[in-house]
Structure 1
Amino acid sequence: MFSIYKNKWSWLFLTSLKGISQVVLIANAFSGFIILIAITIASYSLGIITLLSSLIGTLISKLGGAEEEKINQGLFGYNSVLTGMALFLFLQGDERWFIALAGSAIAALFTAALMHFFRQTDIPILTFPFIVITWLWLLTTYRLVTFKLSPKLTPQSLSNWTLNIKGENDWLEGAVNGIGQIFFLDHTLSGILLFIAVFWAGRRLGVYAVIGNIAALLTSYSLGGEHSLIFMGLYGYNAILTILAVSIVFKGDSRHALITGIIAACLTVPITASVVTWLLPYGLPVLTMPFVLCTWIFLGARKVLPKI
């Protein structure tokens, strides 16, 4: 009897770690463990939220009777992980623990719903459930007093906005921070561990992640982006996810997947700038919307142009 329960708990823990690793499009429990360590080093509380959110997403999928293969790949955990982390970081007050975990549960349900709606298109839902749920929860802060928005998210008027591209050029920090921002981290050691987690899952994955980050750094710098945002990695994380998705995970039979992925990674830069500007009056973070938009564009185009 004890061995049965032990096996169940082991399965739940390992699958939840895969849910964490699926944030970077990887189904690898050990990579997920390294990622969890990287998050916990940066913030002990955030590490707890990350693990609990993935556990919640995995349990909901199991109790709800989802396909075992999808559950075991961690596909019901990653949107819950990102939603829990985002709500914990962007809200304030003691209630944010409960709100973050409730949001992770809703993200799992929304993930299942979008899987159903998208199944005929053969286009992955990616992190779209996380984006929608997080934006909706954050917008409730303007109408419901229980939800308290963090001062870090302050609405700004576009009429008073001025662009300041001045600042120090720290290319080393930019190279590490890009991958860290996928998990809302601005921590050098955590960024290094995240790269290790990706390389552990596959050397090619790691190399492509580095290429995507470099492409975003060079593109955003050459286009005259704000140096503070560039070297904080805020232009890099969407590019990393995009090149992994377009060039490796969903490349299909494409002959030019790497070139297409680099182009897609570069495209995330102007799209990030655009989405950030669009959200400025609402005080909402851009999250991974540029990644979703760019990946959908290229994967959709491949349905008609299979060689790209």
Structure 2
Amino acid sequence: MRGGLAFGVRVLRGLAQVMLLDDARAGAVFGLALLAADWRYGVYALGGAALGTGAASVLGVARGRIRTGLEGFNSCLTALGFAVFLDASRPATMLLAVAACLVVTVVTATVVRLLQVWELPTLTLPYCVLACAVLVAAPAFRRIRPPGPSIAALPRVASGPTVLRPQDVGGAFFRNLSQVFFLDEWYAGALLLVGLFLASRVAGWMACSGSATGIVTAWALEAPAARIADGTMGYNAVLVALALCGVFLSATPATLTYALLGAATATALTPAAAALLSPSGGRPLTWPFVLTTLAFLAAARAFPRITGARTPAAPRPGPPAPT
């Protein structure tokens, strides 16, 4: 019984780690948000987190990673992504999700080994790599390809009204959070925000700041109002803001500014990623979050005011060398 409870807590932490949190309570609220939007998505997400956590345990991954949910969030997103893009009700999708959750555990170990050289986190890079590969390859296999026409398409020039109405802004604010889990419902985003504040007030306020920055940036660049309102322009901004102020960098006025700059950058990168991947049937997923966060974390080491590191004092001149 005790072992089962401990495993359940680790699975919930896997859900929470999608939003960079180590808090089972937040994970429980996130699971509730998924179930409220579509019970199948909740099952896939929880099942994916459980499979990833279980596989890592069997393979002997470091206990610290398993205990904090770091082996569950990539498998959670992988299973959930397949449910959304490949039809959750198909048996083939279920089997593929199970297999992919096991494979992403291997991919995660590879990425951990590669990025530890630069002391950088894996983030959702394993999920992005595997999910992109499967989505691009899916049309070649009748067993797993999604129903309907191919989703591959050439990029198009943005069209549609760019004037934001109050309901567009309100919907975008919450959907920027819900789209992290591929959810369109604004109330799912509100529940996710509750979970963030439950775990950390800093995380809650940074999620709000990241969402607002995504809206303002997309509006300033005259993105179509429909794209802003549905949250697909701003969800990466939320994740970047969380990562750069309070998670991987201490929460200070300097890192707040740095994080909001990163959030704006990720917003601008989102349509760029979509344009690069859409001709092959891929999706932007959280690629803008991964690329922006890794770049900003690597660069932060050159900025002592961001990292809080002291600049080494210049060496004092010594006595003149003998001639």
Report the counterpart of residue 194 of structure 1 in structure 2.
Answer: 192
Percent sequence identity is 27
Report the counterpart of residue 206 of structure 2 in structure 1.
Answer: 208
Deviation at 1:138, TM superposition (A): 1.1
- For 1:162 and 1:296, the matched residues in 2 are separated by 29
- 2:106 corresponds to which letter in structure 1? L
> Secondary structure of 1:209's partner?
helix
Report the counterpart of residue 120 of structure 2 in structure 1.
Answer: 123
Deviations 1:76-113 (A, max 9, x none): 00000000000111113331111112112211221122
Deviations 1:189-237 (A, max 9, x none): 2111100000000111101110010001011011011211111111211
Aligned counterpart in structure 2 of residue 175 of structure 1, from 159, 173, 176: 173
> Secondary structure of 1:120's partner?
helix
Contact 1:217 1:230 in 2 (8 A): yes
- For 1:133 and 1:153, the matched residues in 2 are separated by 19
Contact 2:228 2:234 in 1 (8 A): yes
Deviation at 1:22, TM superposition (A): 0.1
1:215-226 matches, cutoff 5 A: 215-226=213-224
- For 1:42 and 1:296, the matched residues in 2 are separated by 31
> Secondary structure of 2:304's partner?
coil
1:55-74 matches, cutoff 5 A: 55-74=50-69
Deviations 1:229-284 (A, max 9, x none): 11111121100100110111111597611000010001111111211111121222
Deviations 1:35-84 (A, max 9, x none): 00000010111111111101111111111111111110000000000000
- Point out the more displaced range, 83-92 or 127-136: 83-92
In the superposition, the TM-score normalised over structure 1's length comes to: 0.94
1:43-122 matches, cutoff 5 A: 43-92=38-87, 93-122=90-119
- For 1:283 and 1:152, the matched residues in 2 are separated by 11
- 2:281 corresponds to which letter in structure 1? G
Report the counterpart of residue 235 of structure 2 in structure 1.
Answer: 237
- 1:200 corresponds to which letter in structure 2? L
Contact 1:254 1:307 in 2 (8 A): no
| Structure 2: tracts of 5 or more residues without a match | 307-323
Aligned counterpart in structure 2 of residue 27 of structure 1, from 19, 22, 42: 22
Task: Give the 3 Å change call, closer, same or farther, for CA 241–253 of structure 1 in structure 2.
Answer: closer
- For 1:153 and 1:268, the matched residues in 2 are separated by 27
Report the counterpart of residue 155 of structure 1 in structure 2.
Answer: 152
RMSD: 1.6
Report the counterpart of residue 146 of structure 1 in structure 2.
Answer: 143
Is 1:305 aligned to residue 303 of structure 2? yes
- For 1:7 and 1:40, the matched residues in 2 are separated by 26
Report the counterpart of residue 317 of structure 2 in structure 1.
Answer: none
Task: Give the 3 Å change call, closer, same or farther, for CA 304–165 of structure 1 in structure 2.
Answer: same
> Secondary structure of 1:146's partner?
coil
Contact 2:26 2:195 in 1 (8 A): yes
- For 2:129 and 2:96, the matched residues in 1 are separated by 15
Contact 2:135 2:281 in 1 (8 A): no
Deviations 1:116-158 (A, max 9, x none): 2211211101000000100111122232222213548621124
Contact 1:246 1:295 in 2 (8 A): yes
Deviation at 1:307, TM superposition (A): 2.3
> Secondary structure of 1:225's partner?
coil
Task: Give the 3 Å change call, closer, same or farther, for CA 299–66 of structure 1 in structure 2.
Answer: same
Report the counterpart of residue 32 of structure 2 in structure 1.
Answer: 37
Name segments (4+ residues, structure 1) moved above 4 Å: 150-153, 252-255
Report the counterpart of residue 3 of structure 1 in structure 2.
Answer: none
- 2:68 corresponds to which letter in structure 1? Q
How many residues are paired up?
A: 301
- For 2:201 and 2:150, the matched residues in 1 are separated by 37
- Point out the more displaced range, 266-275 or 20-29: 266-275
> Secondary structure of 1:258's partner?
helix
In the superposition, the TM-score normalised over structure 2's length comes to: 0.89
